A and B are shown apart, each in its own frame.
Chain A
């Protein structure tokens, strides 16, 4: 039995998970239209490589990764691309982003799939395969998995498969572990190979006994020495740093990555897609999504990326008093700007909300410095101080108080007796700080460009002055050259020239004198 550790704080919100685990994962039928965003992952947006009117096959590349942190995007089914334009997506801003609209032809016809045996490939080759298959973290942040595997010379001791799924309502990982444990385990083995990790641990909260049993069974069947660990159910136990702490006792230092302490974490659903990508040659085209909350039939669906969320919500039969939708869990999820946005790789759960399920928050009141938030904070921060600095826009101080170690779990807001929406202040402060850092970079660039321009002017002036000086020097030199001694021949020529000039002058002089005389006589004659 492994000795488990604890992280500071944490809360126990009602889990609300059983609603959606009563029936098996269902395949959502093919919708009549798919909207596939080109930016579904952390990092740079993928570049479209298809045109409007193109017929595409299922699994065909439509968005090429562009930049180091980026990932590929594929056609989730066969059909025709009818538009590539800005469409509303699941983003808290409610702003549109570039998407391809795909009208399925109903044949679901695959491109050629190439399965590989991972053991025959080098790590860079496998990373490239994952990148081109659009494999990204399915836990929520959608960080490209290949980037997490590029660890350089760092030694990875422990590979952690995150099946904690600590947020209320969400059950997609739970159901995936129950039903497809075998492929998760295969994928984990592939990830272990790519990281050359010594041990593989699965962290699953102890409120998912079926999932734990399924994983153990799958590991036994495939004769691997992976270890499934049941961890206590505490929110946010599924957050990477907290999970690492519980399983290994190690602390990821502020500003560092898990790999810096020899640990790497992947979501169980990510391991599943790694297996699909390598062992079956299938890019990431679909995912499991929990449809729950204010619906008649809460259930998990396997849906194609690009499926309009209203289509899924209809499958779950949202109740009539539904007044909104949250993508993700109630703690960290984002409210959808519209129900017509498409499913993306990060869509793990859709919660229909109603006034009854999610009553309006009570009006917030001043902070009474009760420090309940401090007790709850899993990142060991001082949320009340962070709040104070964020609301007064003292961003430098907020940063000094480790604002960027905040994982935005919402535990502090949950316990705050003054109902202060603390996390929103942190999000605001973080994005302001990031924008300022960006502005600073731009300003530094502008300074360099301006200085370069000044320098160029200076140089041009200098060059002009130099040229002028050179010209003067040349004139001087020419003058000097003229005083050089002449050859006898030149002297003779010069003498000859002078003699002729003298003669002309004499002639001219005499004629002038003559005319002058004549003129005088004429005048006197008058």
Chain B
């Protein structure tokens, strides 16, 4: 009886060790190509590509099952990057999708009935609130995927375009008159006078 137990225990330990070693040695790494593609995708998780999120789309691209031009939030630049990564030709955004300006969702808190449907829809947990309590979007975490807009039974969610503020302002592409053109923008007009144009 005892010897039988010992034999069984011994076999169990030996097999466990083999399995453990194999798990480390032959670990299946996350597919690096999928990760590389996923790193380019904007992580909006909006599903406009026809897949339930960025990662599934990345997986489909890696498997050659999806085109690289299906992501409207990523825009042309995203397509360029994907094309470069995969050694493919650039192609314009597929379908009739047009890239929209970046927006965040906004809940009209007076109308919100606290149904939690939007919370369930949000792919990045960017909505705070509980049942029968009004909900709020955590704007800094909202990816602008619009997935919460449709489920709202009282239509209190709207998308607001992110305004240009001093904190997110960018220098514009220089628009230079090839020949003198009147500019209405004071800043622009004066800019043309500075930057290396000390008077002679």
Task: For the complex, give the distance between the alpha carbons of A336 and B186 in Å.
Answer: 8
Interface of A with B (CB < 8 Å)?
13-14, 16, 39, 89, 91-97, 168, 324-326, 330-338, 353, 357-361, 363-364, 410-414, 416, 421-425, 427-428, 430-432, 435, 439, 442-447, 449-453
Binds A, one of B16-24, B148-156, B187-195: B187-195
Chain A residues within 8 Å of B126, by CB: 449
Contact of B195 with A423 in the complex, beta carbons under 8 Å = yes
Q: A168-B198, A421-B195, A423-B196 are in contact. Are A446 and B143 (CB under 8 A)?
A: yes
Task: For the complex, give the distance between the alpha carbons of A431 and B171 in Å.
Answer: 6
Q: Which of A93, A97, A360 contacts B192 (CB 8 A)?
A: A360
Q: A324-B193, A360-B192 are in contact. Are A13 and B198 (CB under 8 A)?
A: yes
- B184 touches A (CB below 8 Å): no
Chain B residue with Cβ nearest A420: B176
- B7 touches A (CB below 8 Å): no
Chain A residues within 8 Å of B117, by CB: none
Binary contact track B17-38/A, C-beta < 8 Å → 1, others 0? 0000000000000000000001
Contact of A93 with B169 in the complex, beta carbons under 8 Å = yes
Contact of A331 with B141 in the complex, beta carbons under 8 Å = no
- Known A444-B43, A450-B124; 19 more pairs at CB < 8 Å: A39-B166, A91-B169, A95-B164, A95-B165, A331-B198, A337-B186, A358-B193, A360-B180, A410-B196, A411-B196, A421-B176, A423-B196, A431-B171, A443-B42, A446-B44, A447-B38, A450-B45, A450-B53, A453-B123
Q: Which of A13, A89, A92, A361 contacts B193 (CB 8 A)?
A: A361
Which size class do B's interface residues fall under?
Answer: 35 or more
Contact of B174 with A424 in the complex, beta carbons under 8 Å = yes
Nearest Cβ in chain A — how far from B107, in angstroms? 18
Contact of B190 with A336 in the complex, beta carbons under 8 Å = yes
Chain B residues within 8 Å of A324, by CB: 186, 189-190, 193
How many CB-defined contacts (below 8 Å) exist between A and B? 151
Task: For the complex, give the distance between the alpha carbons of A337 and B173 in Å.
Answer: 18
Interface of B with A (CB < 8 Å)?
38, 41-45, 53-55, 123-126, 141, 143, 164-166, 168-174, 176-180, 186-187, 189-200
Contact of B171 with A424 in the complex, beta carbons under 8 Å = yes
Q: Name B's interface SS.
A: loop
Q: Name A's interface SS.
A: mixed
Q: A93-B166, A443-B43, A450-B53 are in contact. Are A360 and B193 (CB under 8 A)?
A: yes
Q: Which of A94, A412, A445 contacts B141 (CB 8 A)?
A: A445
Give 13 CB contacts A-B under 8 Å. Answer: A168-B198, A330-B199, A363-B179, A412-B196, A413-B195, A414-B198, A421-B195, A428-B171, A446-B43, A446-B44, A446-B124, A447-B55, A449-B125
Contact of A364 with B194 in the complex, beta carbons under 8 Å = no
Task: For the complex, give the distance between the alpha carbons of A44 and B174 in Å.
Answer: 28
Contact of B174 with A428 in the complex, beta carbons under 8 Å = yes
Nearest Cβ in chain B — how far from A503, in angstroms? 52
Chain B residue with Cβ nearest A97: B166
Contact of B186 with A91 in the complex, beta carbons under 8 Å = no
Task: For the complex, give the distance between the alpha carbons of A422 and B197 in Å.
Answer: 11
Q: A96-B166, A363-B177, A364-B178 are in contact. Are A450 and B190 (CB under 8 A)?
A: no
Task: For the complex, give the distance between the alpha carbons of A261 and B35 in Å.
Answer: 38
Contact of B176 with A435 in the complex, beta carbons under 8 Å = no
Chain B residue with Cβ nearest A432: B170
Task: For the complex, give the distance between the alpha carbons of A427 and B190 in Å.
Answer: 16
Q: Which of A14, A364, A424, A427 contacts B198 (CB 8 A)?
A: A14
